[in-house]
Amino acid sequence: MTKCLTLLAAVLLPLLEAQTTYFPPAGTWQHKAPAEAGMDAAKLQLAVDWATSHGSKWDFEKDQVRTFGKILGAIPKQRAATNGIILRHGYIVAEFGDTKTNDPVYSAAKSFLSTTASIAVAKGLIRSVDDRVAAYVHDGGYESTHNSGITWKHHLQQESEWQGEMWGKNANFLGVEEFGAGARKPRELSDPGGYYEYNDVRINRLALSLARVFGKGLPEVLKENIMDKIGASNEWKWQGYGAKSTVEIKGKPVESVSGGTRWGGGLWMNSQDLARFGLLILNHGKWKGRQLVSEQWLAEATKPSLHGPDYGYLWWLNTKGKQWPSAPVTSFAAIGNGGNIVWIDPEHDIVLVWHWHESGQVDGMIQRILNAVAAK
């Protein structure tokens, strides 16, 4: 009997050890050879080769205004080349390019905004996402009959249909000068919760509403509750539009942040810090035994909304298998313009951060990463 138990332990312990999640201390991150993490090195190299040969061509000077319209906030003069990190069980199994340059992540910031909302709920500052925002925020943004019916959930699923203007940009996206190629034709508004529209003006309204609930800026909230606790650097920044989006909250000036870099500003973060965030979310909001993001929140946040294109609480989903045909339907991601993604695969315990990738190439990258797993 003892001999059998010893043999069983010899078989199971390596498997259990292989599945143990590693959480990197601040300032360092352990690499593992792919084979040690259950991956084929040669096949994983094919994924890295795919990434480095499919870098983004996004050019701030040439593309920003043409694509999005008049700029309100800061835009970098240059950016890093394509770069990224692949994690398995928390260890870095592949890293390519400059992963320490803090570049805009564009709309990947929306998933961080979702996370700050989760903190507000956890702290009891928001009792329920089904509550109307008007019950919490009294700055005139929700006083109209139409806007008064908007709930936090409507905002989080981009189904708020909020009507108004934020920092000089109208929620209808009318006007080529203001919105560039993203300008839209007039349409009749639906009731809140009745129509999905990807809309950064409304996201900026959500950001301001959350700041008012917290009574302080969202970068401070994110830093204190998430980024410092997962050992992130102090180099990242989350901006709005400077004086244009600065408001008074509790008698102090607070810059309300943007949920993307569509008009400048936004979240600027390097691939290493993005990978830490992805690892936290992969592990159901837990870091070294501490629950930083509610597991129940993440379960709700990764359920598809009623009207969205496989979209949760500001997270892109794959429940229909259409977003990334090669990926598990349980995978999901934070996605931003210019080729920015934090892809999370709970089934295989993988996080992919890919900064500045060419459009349409993510599924090919995922296919190669998972081939490296399947090979073992």
CATH label of the domain that carries residue 306: 3.40.710.10
Question: Would you say residue 41 lies in a domain?
Answer: yes
Domain residue limits at 326: 32-374
Quick: pLDDT tens for 274-328. 999 999 999 999 999 999 999 999 999 999 999 999 999 999 999 999 999 999 9
Domain assignment of residue 10, yes or no: no
Q: Which two tokens stand for residue 211?
A: 């700041």
Is 6 within the bounds of a domain? no
The answer to whether residue 303 is domain-embedded is yes
How does strand 83-88 pair with strand 246-249?
Answer: unpaired
Does residue 281 lie within any of the structural domains? yes
The whole-angstrom separation of Cα 113 and Cα 194 is 22
Total tally of structural domains belonging to the chain: 1
β-pair partners for 354: 84, 341
Residue 1 domain-assigned? Answer: no
* Whole-number pLDDT of residue 375: 66
**CB 94: neighbour CB atoms within 10 A?**
22
Q: What is the pLDDT tens value at each position of the chain, 376 positions in all? A: 444 444 444 444 344 434 589 999 999 999 999 999 999 999 999 999 999 999 999 999 999 999 999 999 999 999 999 999 999 999 999 999 999 999 999 999 999 999 999 999 999 999 999 999 999 999 999 999 999 999 999 999 999 999 999 999 999 999 999 999 999 999 999 999 999 999 999 999 999 999 999 999 999 999 999 999 999 999 999 999 999 999 999 999 999 999 999 999 999 999 999 999 999 999 999 999 999 999 999 999 999 999 999 999 999 999 999 999 999 999 999 999 999 999 999 999 999 999 999 999 999 999 999 999 976 5
Q: Is residue 17 part of a domain?
A: no
Whether 9 is in a domain gets the answer no
Sign (positive or negative) of CA dihedral 133, 135, 136, 141: positive
Token representation of residue 200: 């950064």
